[in-house]
Chains A and B, each alone.
Chain A
Amino acid sequence: MTDATLAHHDSHDHHPKGLARWLFTTNHKEIGTLYLVFSLIMFFVGGAMALVIRAELFAPGLQLVHPEFFNQMTTMHALVMIFGAVMPAFVGLANWMVPLMIGAPDMALPRMNNWSFWIMPFAFTLLLSTLFMPSGGPASGWTLYPPLSLQGGNSLAFVILAIHLMGISSIMGAINIIATILNMRAPGMTLLRMPMFVWTWLITAFLLIAVMPVLAGAVTMLLTDRFFGTSFFNAAGGGDPVLYQHIFWFFGHPEVYIMILPAFGIVSEIIPTFSRKKLFGYTSMVYATASIAFLSFIVWAHHMFTVGMPLGAALFFMYATMVIAVPTGVKIFNWVSTMWRGSMTFETPMLFALGFVVLFTIGGLSGVMLAIVPADFQYHDTYFVVAHFHYVLVTGAVFAIMASVYYWLPKWTGHMYNETLGKVHFWWSAFWVNVLFFPQHYLGLAGMPRRIPDYAIQFTEFNVISSIGGFAFGIGQLLFVYIVWQCARGGQKATDGVWEGARGLEWTVPSPAPLHTFDTPPDIDHPDLVAHTGGTQ
């Protein structure tokens, strides 16, 4: 810490110990930790399901699991990874970092914060319990398209209730984040001086409140169609199954950006630190993020070109989708320009951030390919789509989360992690993730459909390569757990600033960050602080 100008009081109330401490906590840092640990557990649960899929696909024919169970695995893998791993990880990071970055003492609604987290274990108990029910878990794909999703067992009711709970949790979390950001910034921190991570989360939170209720509505209609005799999606009763796809993707496309905008924010924090330069084009970053969020609401039908739509609609959704490449391109340009002539060093967070920029761009390019209507007719529901969204979600969102953990872990634990092991973890992951997902592009172009347990023998070689990559990548993530565990237990003391080039309010508090910070708001224009924050943005 610089000097005594900033008074940090250590905990001024006595905290309960043991389990009660975590059950009843209203502290943003503890809740952030809970979210991150929960997300890590779900990452391995979902990862185990992915390995069941890759093991079955190691050879053509049916070897290990029944096709019905295989379908449950593809469905559950997606639901667990999206709602259990990626989204809670970002909410956990927001809990930890947003108050620290804007100089607030805590989240605006601490008690609601506790609820939003503790709903999650119940939601996932409900969801995962369906695997042990007589009818098995959901097997229709995570999109739950009717009529297929309505033809399974009664466990659908548990899945829908679980989705309702996750939605309530996300909406409460989003309300909390918006109230915190708009209400509790340190004096002088205008909106356009906020760190990029805070900006991306502000916009993400609005997306969450806008679309999670729409998903809740869609699955409620499924519930009443299945159990209460309504006919929203039942053609025999005057409904239309295609309507579900419109409602679902009106949620689903903004959901894609919910899972990537905070990642953009993280990378926009890390690259300037290790380039020792300010973020290039801060204002354009803010506007690009807002444009992506706006566009996400008018492109949903590109997920369903093959159900048929008028030519004009297909053209509109195609061009609107391609326009998203413009603000995304602005971001990538700004990250590269931030590095241009910077004095760069390549610590683990920076490696993951650079891996993100390169590999996310590959996922973005295959996304533009999928946006082209006539090409999409060929690619739809093939492994090309699987390759595309794993590049943007694994090497995109997950790599950004890994980068952020390495970046802020010294601030959380007060110790430096093992840099050598961190680098091994990065290079291992970056290599094997490409072995895992790159061949899937070729499988898709050659016509291998997604969500099938068996395939024609000409697809064997690429599936073998992909499965080997999957197991190697998965095992490598155990190293990540070891590194985090080791860092939490001890290690070289971290300084308050941690990284030489780090700028921002979170680096002005001690490492590890005490339970209570910024009880008195920081004066962000104070010269001592400006030296550390670069006057924020």
Chain B
Amino acid sequence: MKTMQPNKVTMGSRLKYVARLSGFAVAMFGFGYLMVPLYDKFCEVTGLGGRTAGGPVAEYLPTEEDTSRLVTVHFDSNVNSSLPWYFEPIEKTMKVHPGRMYETMYRATNYSDQPVVAQAVPSVAPGQAALFFNKTECFCFTEQLLAPGETKDMPVRFFVHPDLPSDTNLVTLSYIIYKNEDATAQQVVALNP
């Protein structure tokens, strides 16, 4: 048998592996967090998850109204269990022409004996239609405050873009409304100093 060198590996070459592989592990930890903005961006671009733009779209009144086409819009509402509100669309459904501006109302009632601040989160189904459903005004853009027992009608102004794919004739706009705990606590404190 040939004489072989003793089986020795220099510490330097081992540390090189440790450094590189640990760096890889740290980078992958960062990648986990990077997935958060990536996912947001991805949803915004594709309409995945029925996400609509977070703010109002620029006032845009298309010159071309497609009066030959009627799209049905369903309105839906859900209330998170910790929020003591009634929250319902006034109209359950509308037939709209793409390109024309419409307005509808949601009615909210605070049935508790405290002022409550809430935030509505919209979503559009099917997801592919989310990109073509434009809100120019919406109660979901800001927090809503209701005094004890107060009822308020809250407007949504929207239009469906004429580029909505022709096989989509039914769009659902849905809201979930949540209690904003911090803002509600501030209101309660302001009332009972």
Mark A residues whose CB is within 8 Å of B.
Answer: 5-6, 103-105, 108-109, 112, 171, 174-175, 178-179, 182-184, 186-187, 209-218, 221, 232, 235-236, 238, 240, 242-243, 246-247, 250, 308-310, 313, 518-521, 523, 526, 528
Alpha-carbon gap, A519 to B6, bound state (A)? 6
Q: Collect the chain B residues with CB atoms within 8 Å of residue A520's CB.
A: 4, 6-7
Question: Given A109-B18, A250-B35, are A523 and B29 neighbors across the interface (CB < 8 Å)?
Answer: no
Alpha-carbon gap, A179 to B26, bound state (A)? 17
Question: Does the CB pair B29–A179 fall under 8 Å?
Answer: no
Question: Does the CB pair B6–A218 fall under 8 Å?
Answer: no
Interface Cβ pair total, 8 Å cutoff = 114
Question: Given A213-B25, A235-B178, A521-B4, are A179 and B14 neighbors across the interface (CB < 8 Å)?
Answer: yes
Alpha-carbon gap, A184 to B39, bound state (A)? 41
Question: Does the CB pair B17–A108 fall under 8 Å?
Answer: yes
Question: Does the CB pair A310–B48 fall under 8 Å?
Answer: yes
Q: Which residue of A lies closest to B28 (CB)?
A: A213
Alpha-carbon gap, A238 to B119, bound state (A)? 10
Alpha-carbon gap, A519 to B46, bound state (A)? 59
List 27 contacting pairs A-B, 8 Å CB cutoff, sorted by A.
A104-B7, A108-B14, A109-B18, A112-B18, A175-B17, A175-B22, A179-B14, A179-B17, A179-B18, A184-B9, A209-B21, A209-B25, A213-B26, A213-B29, A215-B32, A216-B29, A217-B32, A232-B36, A236-B178, A246-B39, A247-B32, A247-B35, A308-B49, A520-B7, A523-B2, A523-B4, A526-B2
Alpha-carbon gap, A78 to B36, bound state (A)? 27
Q: Report the minimum CB–CB distance from A99 to chain B (whole Å).
A: 10
Question: Does the CB pair B46–A209 fall under 8 Å?
Answer: no
Grouping DSSP codes into helix (H, G, I), strand (E, B) and loop, the A interface class, with mixed when no group exceeds half, is helix
Map CB proximity to A onto B30-44 as digits: 1 under 8 Å, 0 otherwise.
111101100100010
Q: Collect the chain B residues with CB atoms within 8 Å of residue A216's CB.
A: 29, 32
Q: Collect the chain B residues with CB atoms within 8 Å of residue A212's CB.
A: 25, 28
Question: Does the CB pair A183–B9 fall under 8 Å?
Answer: yes
Alpha-carbon gap, A182 to B20, bound state (A)? 13
Question: Does the CB pair B24–A209 fall under 8 Å?
Answer: yes
Q: Is B53 an interface residue (CB 8 A)?
A: no
Q: Is B13 an interface residue (CB 8 A)?
A: yes
Q: Collect the chain A residues with CB atoms within 8 Å of residue B105's CB.
A: none
Q: Is B191 an interface residue (CB 8 A)?
A: no
Number of residues in B with C-beta < 8 Å to the partner? Answer: 39
Q: Which residue of A lies closest to B181 (CB)?
A: A236
Q: Collect the chain A residues with CB atoms within 8 Å of residue B22's CB.
A: 171, 175
Q: Collect the chain A residues with CB atoms within 8 Å of residue B115's CB.
A: none
Question: Given A184-B7, A187-B4, are A179 and B32 neighbors across the interface (CB < 8 Å)?
Answer: no
Residue among A104, A179, A218, A238 with most chain B CB within 10 A:
A179
Alpha-carbon gap, A213 to B31, bound state (A)? 9
A103, A175, A214, A250: the one within 8 Å of B21 (CB): A175
A105, A182, A310, A518: the one within 8 Å of B17 (CB): A182
Q: Collect the chain A residues with CB atoms within 8 Å of residue B127's CB.
A: 308-310
